[in-house]
Structure 1
Amino acid sequence: MHTSTASAIIIDDLHKKYRTNHALRGVELEVTAGEVMALLGPNGAGKTTLVKILTTLLEPDSGRAFVNGWNVSTEPEKVRSTIGMAGQYSTVDGLLTGFENLYLLAKLRGVGRRTARRVADDLLSRFRLTDVAGRPAGAYSGGMRRRLDLAAALVGSPPLVVLDEPTTGLDPESRLDTWEAVGELVADGTTILLTTQYLEEADRLADRITVIDRGRVVAEGTSDELKATAGNRLVVYVAGDHQLDAAARAAAQATGAIPTVDRRARRVEAAATDGRAALGRALAALEREDVEVLEIGLSRCTLDDVFLGLTSHARREAA
């Protein structure tokens, strides 16, 4: 059965269990063609299991999943012909040159020599690897090797590319290189499913974000929408180190949240879901605690705050 391809991915009540471990518990998800969807979750949340099912490496126990209109369980070959994948570990052959890696993949896709050569040359140019095309991939820097991985995932022009923690272990410069390459894919209209441990990466690259924890989707929306649900952060700077504990008590009273204390910066922060009202309560509590305040205010919650709040809440509910 081939469904409409207006949605690149459709997941309906997906379950997967390993003995006593429920990896997926009724996951529902839809990814529109041409968008970047970031899948976030702590270790063991079910992200890898979900990616393996979508790439036909694993069978679900129940539920349905469609990729580019094809059923992953009954039409796996169709699915594989329309996706590219770059995992967190490089899959290119370090003994082959950059050109040879891409040429070989194009040949495996069933194209002729001339076409395979053109595909390899075009991708090397697109990812700024032409100057090192004749060097063994094992001699590439981390960023260059990751760009070659992305180029390899695009052989055959798949409409969907799965990036499974693509910048894990990369230095900051190589990570920026990878982000730039992903941006080029997006500009060409490629649909991307991105799993990542770096929230800044999701914030920067994703059109929408899905947070998964303990095998369930716990939140979904744009980065701005998710941040809006988390409210603000109360931020207090105090005059002396000896006042930090009192300021933390005041912040906890005002917000009902567990504050974080940065002793070097003499700063106390706490999530404040009701913003201005919490600020008023904090001022009163700080006065009662006789804390000398240098600065106090509200800042917007970060994606880190959202992620920690959602996943810790889900785990408390499960407990």
Structure 2
Amino acid sequence: MQPIISVKDVSKTYKSGLQALKPINLDIMQGEIFALLGPNGAGKTTLINIICGIVTPSSGTITADGHDTQRDYKQARKKIGLVPQELHTDAFERVIDTVTFSRGLFGFPANPGHIEKVLRDLSLWDKKDEKIMALSGGMKRRVMIAKALSHEPKILFLDEPSAGVDVELRRDMWEMVRALRGQGVTIILTTHYIEEAEEMADRVGVINQGELIVVEEKKALMRRMGKKKLTLDLPAPIAALPEGLNGFNLDLCSEGRQIVYSFDAQAEDTGIPALLKRLTELHVDFKDLHTDQSSLEDIFVSLVHSK
């Protein structure tokens, strides 16, 4: 399958000498949800803006649905919908007018039925005749999403779409994302809510200091880098771990009420049977036990801090 977005050796250095992006190579496949994660200033928005043709790269090429984003900008941009971080709206325009205008801006003929569907899907239909300046911040964010979807793009960029929005909009937005993916739309998102990426994404890319340090299928990444923890709840607190447990990777937590054992999520021999046997030999009782696995956020933090 040919990638719907192909980024080849793309870098960005500003006149000041700041290198915002080191050479990046990335293929994104049609119909996938790709999460681009990274700390503030890592280069996420710069990369998105380059792919969307808003920022000119210092080197490299990008194609979107087969169109070179520099040589064939208009055709490439028609394929892309962008919801930026910042709210840029026409304050004195009516909601329906600005969304309709966005569709025409890309050269598409009027389609009132599609505009109505988009506004209804985003719970904006009852606000269609209101001026944007009268809307709440969450409603303005909905308008930005509606504008991005007005021309039926095959590729949708969501740059921090959950920033400053309420729980209801976040839920509606992710339902819409799933529906779009079902229609074959490719979704690329950045988010500080990494649990959303963990729930939604098919693949994950982590960018740090302008460098793409990992691109991997989400489940494979979590299996490869994930850690598991076995937590033993003790019937009474203890002051220190018994000396006979020194060979295990243990921590004493919750003011001595829990023993936590960390181990590799992929390990065939987890060490748990040996640990439980040793606890029995040392007459260390526990009243309950449970296991937890690293979240995507845990893995993201470890990747960024290891650079």
Q: TM-score range by the shorter chain?
A: 0.7 to 0.9
* Distance in 2, Cα, partners of 1:293 & 1:43: 43
**Residue 147 (str. 1) matches residue 142 (str. 2):** yes
2:164 counterpart SS class: coil
Normalising by structure 1, what TM-score?
Answer: 0.79
Give the structure 2 partner of residue 74 of structure 1.
71
Moved more, 272-281 or 180-189: 272-281
Structure 1 residue 273: Cα displacement: 4.8
**1:9 corresponds to which of 5, 11, 22:** 5
Structure 1 residue 155: Cα displacement: 1.7
**1:199 corresponds to which of 188, 194, 202:** 194
Give the structure 2 partner of residue 33 of structure 1.
30
In 1, are the aligned partners of 2:91 and 2:132 still within 8 Å (CA)? Answer: yes
Q: How many residues align?
A: 305
Structure 1 residue 86: Cα displacement: 0.4
Give the structure 2 partner of residue 310 of structure 1.
303
Give the structure 2 partner of residue 272 of structure 1.
264
2:248 counterpart SS class: helix
1:215-234 Cα distance to aligned partner (Å, 9 max, x none)? 22222233211111124321
Structure 1 vs Structure 2 CA RMSD? 3.5
AA in 1 matched with 2:169: S
Stretches of structure 1 that go unaligned for 5 or more consecutive residues are: 314-318
Give the structure 2 partner of residue 316 of structure 1.
none
1:57-103 Cα distance to aligned partner (Å, 9 max, x none)? 22222222212222223333332222110012333334322212212
Q: Structure 1 residues 120 and 79, CA, compared in 2 at 3 Å: closer, same or farther? A: same
Normalising by structure 2, what TM-score?
Answer: 0.82
Q: Please state which structure has a larger fraction of its residues in helix.
A: 1
1:207-259 Cα distance to aligned partner (Å, 9 max, x none)? 22112223222222332111111243213244389648x46x99996349xx6
Q: How does 1:42-191 map to 2 (within 5 A)?
A: 42-110=39-107, 115=110, 117-191=112-186
1:158-203 Cα distance to aligned partner (Å, 9 max, x none)? 2111111111112222211221222222222211111111111112
AA in 1 matched with 2:264: A
* Distance in 1, Cα, partners of 2:32 & 2:230: 35
Report % sequence identity.
29
Moved more, 275-284 or 131-140: 275-284
Moved more, 304-313 or 292-301: 292-301
